[in-house]
Amino acid sequence: MAKRQSSGKFSQIQPAKGKLGVMIPGMGAVATTFVAGVEAIRRGLAQPIGSLTQMGTIRLGKRTDARSPKIKDFVPLAGLDDLVFTGWDIYTDDMYAAARNAGVLERDLLDKIKPFLESIKPRKAVFDRNYVRKLDGPNVKKGKSKMDLAEQVRDDIREFKKTSGASRFIMIWCGSTEIFLRPTAVHASVKAFEKSLQQNDEDIAPSMIYAYAALSEGVPFANGAPNLTVDIPVMSELSRRNHAPICGKDFKTGQTLVKTILAPGFKARMLGLSGWYSTNILGNRDGEVLDDPDSFKTKEESKLGVLEHILQPQMYPQLYGKIFHKVRINYYPPRGDNKEGWDNIDIFGWLGYPMQIKVDFLCRDSILAAPIVLDLVLFLDLAQRSAELRGIGIQEWLSFYFKSPMTAPGLYPEHDLFIQSMKLKNTLRHLKGEALITHLGLEYYD
Ligand SMILES: NC(=O)c1ccc[n+]([C@@H]2O[C@H](COP(=O)([O-])OP(=O)(O)OC[C@H]3O[C@@H](n4cnc5c(N)ncnc54)[C@H](O)[C@@H]3O)[C@@H](O)[C@H]2O)c1
């Protein structure tokens, strides 16, 4: 165990010894693109483009020190060879069949790793059509109560712990977007939640049952969908109690990624904004699920918060007091996973003169999401091995990866990608007892 001075505190990080078991509810486009990608990279068939943990560097000390190690050489992360996988889905397709069905990666690549992908078969899902109306599948658990279903997921986790050969574990939700739910008294404490699990309360969605099971087994949980899942007091309580870090929600990929790159730039230059119209066409299963207004509402809330938090209209009423912000997602099957997102941005400058920016992003949703899944798996595992991070619950330093970052109660989230990036890297420096980088730089002129 390494002991290091960290901003006056001792920060201990246990080494990444042994295998890391990755458990994925939802074996669809994102999950299969992630798992197949990891295997392709392990075999030297492709590069981990888009992954900060694999490709990123971190500057340490002064600009004149020339110390910029790779992040994976700076903090002890699990290696790709150490990852082993399991998953749950309502369909019976193994990872190969599911990846073929998702249509993201080329058949040629998938065929090279077919036996590996075929070996990952879905466990029976906890699923209820009342929460995802557009889907229905045969591979679903039956139980007397929601508590019974949670016990069955806990059994799955224990079984994977025994048979996978892994010593550490992570769960990451790559399942569908559920209907919009608000936090209620049911979610306020572990006690209330457990009573409501017994009573089959409708405020408990399937994704919460997985999260409850994982955290109860001491397994960290990341939420890739905009679902409420772990963004409720009961999960923070369980997370802290069992030293199983949590983070979420909703992977920050295509259009929202672009939004959180552009909007901080407008604000930094004090350019006004009167409207931002975002529309998408998307033809994958995610698009089909989001065709249901109640699932779309969950996504919409997640996407809309971004501008308000970045632009702070209450502080700049002349610039951002009257923004018309609209987000649309249209299900259009011919495009499959290759989404097209249009943004029309109405800005104004000096003396109020209007200008327009048009962005047409022909993106690949799951190609953007897969490296996020990898980084979150590796960083959450790091957090659980860090004496300083494992007991704090929400890992806000991972906001970088999310459309709706979770924060401690009463805090507003940071959406600006560059603030998020600085926060993440400074957290890593802090963990290793390195000086934080403020970009002040006056010392170079002494
Ligand atoms: N770039 C992106 O693709 C992106 C970005 C942000 C968020 N997301 C979110 O990530 C999630 C996955 O996206 P995707 O494109 O892979 O979707 P997908 O539809 O291809 O895959 C989701 C899978 O989850 C399964 N599922 C649904 N409910 C389940 C349950 N209760 N238990 C187990 N399995 C369940 C479905 O059967 C499906 O196979 C979605 O919620 C999506 O909104 C994706």
Burial 155-191 (b: 16+ CB within 10 A, else e): ebbeebbeebebebbbbbbbbbbbbbbeeeebbeebe
271 CB-near residues (< 8 Å, 6+ apart): 319, 347, 348, 349
CA of 161 to the centre of ligand 1 (A): 24
As a whole number of angstroms, the distance between CA 290 and CA 305 comes to 18
Hunting for tokens 């109020």 — which residue is that? 352
Hunting for tokens 């409720």 — which residue is that? 232
Nearest CA to ligand 1 atom 8: 225
Q: Report phi then psi at 369, rounded to 5.
A: -80, -35
Nearest CA to ligand 1 atom 21: 28
Helix H or strand E encompassing 259: helix 254-268
Whether 244 and 169 have beta carbons less than 8 Å apart is answered as no
User: What are the CA-CA distances from residue 59 to residues 14, 388, 418 (Å)?
Assistant: 23, 22, 15
Q: What is the pLDDT along the chain (446 residues), one digit of tens a residue?
A: 333 444 445 469 999 999 999 999 999 999 999 999 999 999 999 999 999 999 999 999 998 999 999 999 999 999 999 999 999 999 999 999 999 999 999 999 999 999 999 999 999 999 999 999 888 999 999 999 999 999 999 999 999 999 999 999 999 999 999 999 999 999 999 999 999 999 999 999 999 999 999 999 999 999 999 999 999 999 999 999 999 999 999 999 988 899 989 999 999 999 999 999 999 898 887 778 877 887 888 777 767 778 888 899 999 999 999 999 999 889 998 888 888 999 999 999 999 999 999 999 999 989 999 999 999 999 999 999 999 999 999 999 999 999 999 999 999 898 889 999 999 999 999 999 999 998 888 888 88
CA of 28 to the centre of ligand 1 (A): 6
Q: Which pLDDT belongs to residue 11?
A: 66
Residue to substitute in 23, 24, 27, 30 for testing ligand 1 pocket (most ligand atoms within 8 angstroms of CB): 30
Compute how many other C-beta atoms are within 10 angstroms of the C-beta atom of residue 291. Answer: 16
CA of 81 to the centre of ligand 1 (A): 25
Nearest CA to ligand 1 atom 18: 28
Q: Is the CB of 296 under 6 A from ligand 1?
A: no
Q: Is the CB of 177 under 6 A from ligand 1?
A: yes
Instruction: Report DSSP letters for 1-29, one per residue.
Output: -EEEEETTEEEEE----SEEEEEEE--SH
How much helix, strand and coil, in percent to the nearest 5, is found in the chain? 45, 20, 35
Residue to substitute in 172, 286, 299, 403 for testing ligand 1 pocket (most ligand atoms within 8 angstroms of CB): 286
Q: Is the CB of 89 under 6 A from ligand 1?
A: yes
- Residue 439: is it exposed, middle or buried by C-beta count within 10 angstroms (0-12/13-18/19+)? exposed
Whether 437 and 426 have beta carbons less than 8 Å apart is answered as yes
User: What are the CA-CA distances from residue 143 to residues 122, 149, 150, 257 (Å)?
Assistant: 18, 5, 9, 40
As a whole number of angstroms, the distance between CA 249 and CA 407 comes to 10
E-state strands within 14-121: 19-25, 83-89
Please check whether the domain covering 2-251+367-431 is classified as CATH 3.40.50.720: yes
CA of 286 to the centre of ligand 1 (A): 6
Which tokens is 319 given? Answer: 């610039």
Pairing between β-strand 338-348 and β-strand 272-282 as defined by DSSP bridges: antiparallel
Q: Is the CB of 156 under 6 A from ligand 1?
A: no
CA of 76 to the centre of ligand 1 (A): 30
Hunting for tokens 């199983």 — which residue is that? 244
* Domain layout of the chain by residue ranges: 2-251+367-431, 254-364
CA of 30 to the centre of ligand 1 (A): 7
Q: Is the CB of 305 under 6 A from ligand 1?
A: no
307 CB-near residues (< 8 Å, 6+ apart): 259, 263, 273, 276, 323, 325
Q: Is the CB of 27 under 6 A from ligand 1?
A: yes
Which tokens is 87 given? Answer: 């998953």
Residue 57's DSSP bridge partners are 70
Q: Is the CB of 127 under 6 A from ligand 1?
A: yes
AA letter at 246: I
Within this chain, domains 2-251+367-431 and 254-364 share the same CATH topology: no
Could you tell me where the DSSP H helices lie in 119-187? 146-163
Q: Which pLDDT belongs to residue 306?
A: 85
Q: Which atom of ligand 1 is nearest to the CA of 128?
A: 31
Question: Torsion-angle region of residue 283: left (phi > 0), alpha (psi -120 to 50) or beta?
Answer: alpha
Q: Is the CB of 93 under 6 A from ligand 1?
A: no
Q: Is the CB of 295 under 6 A from ligand 1?
A: no
Q: Is the CB of 369 under 6 A from ligand 1?
A: yes
CA of 429 to the centre of ligand 1 (A): 33
The CATH homologous superfamily for domain 254-364 is Dihydrodipicolinate Reductase; domain 2 (3.30.360.10)
Whether 222 and 376 have beta carbons less than 8 Å apart is answered as yes
Q: Is the CB of 343 under 6 A from ligand 1?
A: no
Q: Which strands make up the sheet holding 122-124, listed edge to edge?
A: 122-124, 83-89, 19-25, 166-173, 221-223, 246-247
